[in-house]
Structure 1
């Protein structure tokens, strides 16, 4: 994958929120997009749809185990509730799926974000 678009009512707010949680930087605007480089050549391109409804999406990030606790701490510092499951039960808890740790949280536009330290086991 090269990039994917994240629709937002305020592209700056969304990009800065996600970059802060993941410990990344927001790049320079590229046309209507505000990119967040994920460090593997892939960008999330925040695209502003100020006056249109946004269909919530799910974005899952495979993160290093040694950075997971810092991400949880950043969520707690800004008062964002995280959950052990995508149904948003078990607030303030992480899961142990696939032999790692994971958590779900919402971004400012209601997209469900997931951080996980081990890839999903596929059949």
Structure 2
């Protein structure tokens, strides 16, 4: 059997806001609430379950995306005023070009860094 990460819990301050932000960033739909979670199905194998019962904690979630998703996500970040950068722990509004692709880190208000990149390092 192949091992696949199926879901993970993301601790946030407001589960509905955080789920909608990621859904909008990636161009996917936020799913209806499931118990205490606000799920976002990222692809056929992975769901992120946003949970606000214990408060927010910073995190880092990295997504390999195609150019169209990358461009749409960066436009969304710019349009909504989200901070973004070429590297973690800085805000420079630059794109990195590691491994021949493009990459950015988009920061949500809970301190979560969503890394989007177009080439595998």
Q: TM-score, normalised by structure 2?
A: 0.89
User: Match for 1:85 among 84, 87, 91?
Assistant: 87
**Equivalent in the alignment of 2:20:** 16
- Aligned-partner SS, 1:76: helix
What are the equivalent positions in structure 2 for 1:5-44 lying under 5 Å apart?
5-44=9-48
Name stretches of at least 5 consecutive residues in structure 2 with no aligned partner.
none
1:4 and 1:64 mapped to 2: Cα distance?
A: 23
**Equivalent in the alignment of 1:57:** 59
Name stretches of at least 5 consecutive residues in structure 1 with no aligned partner.
none
What are the equivalent positions in structure 2 for 1:104-115 lying under 5 Å apart?
104-115=105-116
Q: What is the count of residue pairs matched by the alignment?
A: 117
Q: State the Cα distance separating 1:113 from its structure 2 match.
A: 1.3
In the alignment, is the contact (CA less than 8 A) between 1:88 and 1:104 conserved in 2?
no
1:76 and 1:54 mapped to 2: Cα distance?
A: 23
1:81 and 1:109 mapped to 2: Cα distance?
A: 12
In the alignment, is the contact (CA less than 8 A) between 2:58 and 2:110 conserved in 1?
yes
In the alignment, is the contact (CA less than 8 A) between 2:11 and 2:55 conserved in 1?
no
**Equivalent in the alignment of 1:103:** 104
Runs of 4+, deviation exceeding 6 Å: none
In the alignment, is the contact (CA less than 8 A) between 2:12 and 2:55 conserved in 1?
no
**Equivalent in the alignment of 2:8:** 4
